Amino acid sequence: MDIDTPAHGVPSPLLTSADLAGTELPNRIVMAPMTRLRADTSGVPQPIMAQYYAQRASAGLIVSEGISPSVRGQQYLTEPGLFSEEQVAGWTPVTAAVHAAGGRIFAQIMHAGRNGHPDNRIDGGQPEAPSAVPLTRPLHTLDGKIDPVMPRAMTTADIRAAIDDHAAAARAALRAGFDGVEIHSANSYLPHQFLADNTNLRDDAYGGSPTAHARFVVELTEAVADAVGADRVGLRIAPGNPENEITEADPAPVYRALLSAVDPLGLAYLHVTDNPDYPALDDLRPRWRGTLIGNTGEHEATTRESAERLIRDRRADLVSVGRPFISNPDLPERVAAGIAWAPIREKNFHYTSGPRGYIDYPAAREVVAG
Ligand SMILES: Cc1cc2nc3c(=O)[nH]c(=O)nc-3n(C[C@H](O)[C@H](O)[C@H](O)COP(=O)(O)O)c2cc1C
């Protein structure tokens, strides 16, 4: 099959161009952020990561794996960071390779909060969180599973420091050649821990009412937007996502308060993971004037059909696709040519080191030629 010949092209709403803060995206498929743990134990990106991301540069936009803004935000030792000059230097060839292949890439800034562990930090420090509420399930380290530890409740000085760290990491991201940054306020990470009920028991300005639960994320987003420009900042949320023992009994008032504060900032985008218990996309769509990226894959893995439905029904402007991008590096070309998406062969290589399960999935044209 000749995938370059338009006569074979299969029409798809995913393949129409879109505007993202003044940049034209060739398609509406966003590669979702996926932690892959291929950095070294100092959080320095390795050359293999340039190859991995460049293979996937035909995405309308790539959002990188979660990147730690500081030692205090580290989740894993081999997670990349953006808090040392060596890390910035390690990222530079990654972003250059994506740009050389015609792509665009945002850096996802991810602070672990209570999901951290002394054994997963360069400095062996205690994790910090909105409140001293520990996880109960074991955590992964390079040496195997380990029991969680009690996180330290953040002081207002800690909160200020975490916000400053995110702003500094955003500036570092731009120095490293990223086109923008995504604040990871989803999937149980520190900002989500402020938004949620069970992880935020504070009775100061950062806890209690819906507005107070949203305050940390609002201040964080404002600071990052001030640091690099709102049009280079995206915000990811996953209201009601129970990952890592998060509970949100009534997400709507908190997320509505959040959006009423951040919608006027003019961010590049809002990235929303939908949830059957609280249909966030439908509730928040009318409250967001900017670009909306939708993801429906947390409960049922994204398929070509689900992605197309999301765009066709106008529930989102762009759709983020995670796991299928692991096994289909050239996903937009496969959509254009009507080629079935290859399944992931070996899930246990998601978080290992080395090339296997990482850069060894072929593009469709290689399979056809071979
Ligand atoms: C291996 C793996 C790592 C992930 N790491 C992150 C991450 O670092 N940051 C994040 O926001 N989401 C992360 N996710 C969630 C994905 O971005 C996405 O929301 C999820 O996989 C559902 O979409 P899908 O069905 O298209 O894969 C990860 C998912 C997978 C499978």
The string of pLDDT tens digits covering residues 68-88 is 999 999 999 999 999 999 999
* Residue 4 CA to ligand 1 centre (angstroms): 30
Pocket lining: 115 vs ligand 1, CB cutoff 6 Å: no
Q: Whose CA is nearest to atom 18 of ligand 1?
A: 322
Give me the mean pLDDT over the 56-71 stretch.
Answer: 98
Pocket lining: 234 vs ligand 1, CB cutoff 6 Å: no
Residue 278 bears catalytic tag: no
* Residue 12 CA to ligand 1 centre (angstroms): 24
Residue with the bigger pLDDT between 365 and 7: it is 365
Q: Can you give the pLDDT at residue 133? A: 98
In the structure, what pLDDT confidence band is assigned to residue 47 with cuts at 50, 70 and 90? very high
Cα of 232 vs its chain's centroid, Å: 14
Pocket lining: 34 vs ligand 1, CB cutoff 6 Å: yes
What are the residues whose beta carbons fall under 8 Å from the beta carbon of 114, sequence distance 6 or more?
A: 127, 128, 129, 133, 134, 135, 148, 151, 190, 193, 199
Tell me which H or E stretch contains 235. strand 233-237
* Residue 192 CA to ligand 1 centre (angstroms): 15
Pocket lining: 191 vs ligand 1, CB cutoff 6 Å: no
- Please choose, from the candidates 283, 131, 272, the residue with its C-alpha nearest in 3D space to the C-alpha of residue 196: 131
Answering whether pTM is above 0.95, one says yes
- Please choose, from the candidates 310, 313, 339, the residue with its C-alpha nearest in 3D space to the C-alpha of residue 327: 339
- Contacts by 360-369 with C-beta closer than 8 Å and gap 24+? 361/55, 361/326, 361/327, 361/328, 361/329, 362/329, 363/55, 363/329, 363/330, 363/333, 364/3, 364/328, 364/330, 364/333, 364/334, 364/337, 364/339, 365/3, 365/330, 365/333, 368/1, 368/3
Average pLDDT, the chain: 95
Pocket lining: 295 vs ligand 1, CB cutoff 6 Å: yes
Query: For ligand 1, what atom is nearest to the CA of residue 297?
Result: 25
Per-domain residue ranges for the chain? 6-369
Question: What is the DSSP code (8-state) at residue 79?
Answer: S
**pLDDT at residue 11 above 70?**
yes
In the structure, what pLDDT confidence band is assigned to residue 6 with cuts at 50, 70 and 90? very low
Which member of 52, 53, 189, 361 is catalytic?
189
**pLDDT at residue 311 above 80?**
yes
- Ranking 234-238, 281-285, 350-354 by mean pLDDT, the lowest is 350-354
Q: Which tens digit of pLDDT belongs to each residue from 257-298?
A: 999 999 999 999 999 999 888 999 999 999 999 999 999 998
Q: Which tens digit of pLDDT belongs to each residue from 201-226?
A: 999 999 999 999 999 999 999 999 99
* Residue 157 CA to ligand 1 centre (angstroms): 31
Q: Can you give the pLDDT at residue 369? A: 62
CATH class, range 6-369 = alpha beta
Terminal alpha carbon distance of the chain: 12
Work out the percent of the chain whose per-residue pLDDT is above 70: 96
